[in-house]
Amino acid sequence: MVANELKILISGGGTGGHIFPAIAIADALRNTVPDCDILFVGALGKMEMEKVPQAGYPIKGLRISAFQRRLSLKNLSFPFKVVFSMVKAYKIITSFKPDVVVGVGGFASGPTLKVAVNRRIPVVIQEQNSYPGITNRLLAKHAERICVAYDGMEKWFPAGKILKTGNPVRENVINIQNKKDEAFRYFELESGKPVVLIVGGSQGALSINQALSYNLKDLEQCGVQMIWQTGKLFADKAKSAIQEKIANPRDKDFHVHEFITRMDLAYAAADLVISRAGAIAISELSAVQKPSILIPYPAAAEDHQAKNAKALADKQAAIFLADSEAKIKIATIVKSLIEDEEKRDTLSKNIGEFAVHNSAQKIAEQIIKIASKRNGV
């Protein structure tokens, strides 16, 4: 295939768990076919409308949102949003004329993939989790290829279409070698003092934030520095808690960020990470081999985050901490791990065994292969 003939549309988003794998796939496509034309389709008002352009890719927005599982008046407008989104997706696809449409899950993925199927454009699905979202489950039978990260996905998808690739992670995020000095300068950290990185996900995690706020005095006594990604809604509360509870809040031990752009430097600086147990978070932690305390999101579908965390904990690859116990136990666990370098080394070594390398490149190769077949190359 001539490079400038390749046109790929990538759809999905809503959270970092969908957006960042999509960007990783786009980067791998560009690295393989530098002149390929890539267009994203996301949901208006969601974080992909900001993060995708920051990564250097154009994006179109659909006026779509999630169906509320609880009784809500918002659901009355949901069918109309779906119809309008499909009309908009039809116009985008008709204008762009993609060779392949890639769905990564999230609000915008459903209408876009459905239109692609109706237009007989090949569809590739990338499923990050062991329990697939409803969009991917419904459209799986129409996909040319379904790229997955876990074994046993035949329960949800046609076996002949499944390829285990692992989850794509952004190369610029996991490339942390020889960056520790730069990271300490970037975050204004004190040399020689242990660093704890807290990432509740791209949008923050309320219960983790609350547990940390409650335990600030005890965490200060652990002698650590914190890089704390709170999400937009909790940032001011975190800063207020530091002012109220820390004896000298102007010292630089507690660094609050709504969102961390340079995650490579955050990982490079960290001696210990506190995180949710989503699929992409675990893929990144495995790639950078950081000792971690995993606090699964309790409302995750099929409790898949707890299953993820327990699978690692059973192999001495992470510490499992239930969300309901975080407020009581988090400071004690942080203190014990900071004081036990041998334990951290064990966790670091073992979590590295879960890493799957070159996932984005494997997915990009499948997309290019399907596009070439469609164009008779």
Query: Where exactly are the structural domains of the chain?
Result: 3-167+357-374, 172-352
- Bridge partners (DSSP) listed for residue 195: 225
Q: Is 3 helix (H, G, I), strand (E, B) or coil?
A: helix
Instruction: Name which CATH class applies to 3-167+357-374.
Output: alpha beta
CB 290 within 8 A of CB 348: yes
Angle (nearest 5°) at CA 294 between 183 and 297: 115
What pLDDT sits at residue 16? Answer: 83
Nearest to 278 by CA among 15, 65, 66: 15
| Helix spans in the chain (H) | 16-32, 48-54, 78-96, 109-118, 134-139, 171-174, 180-186, 206-214, 216-221, 235-245, 263-269, 279-288, 304-314, 326-338, 341-352, 359-374
What is the homologous superfamily of the domain 172-352 according to CATH?
Answer: Glycogen Phosphorylase B; (3.40.50.2000)
- Tell me which residues of the chain have a pLDDT lower than 70: 1-4, 65-81, 201-204, 249-251, 377
What pLDDT sits at residue 250? Answer: 56
Within this chain, domains 3-167+357-374 and 172-352 share the same CATH topology:
yes
What pLDDT sits at residue 252? Answer: 73
What pLDDT sits at residue 1? Answer: 47
What pLDDT sits at residue 68? Answer: 44
Helix, strand, coil: what percent of the chain each, to 5?
50, 15, 35
pTM for this entry: 0.84
What pLDDT sits at residue 336? Answer: 97
What pLDDT sits at residue 3? Answer: 44
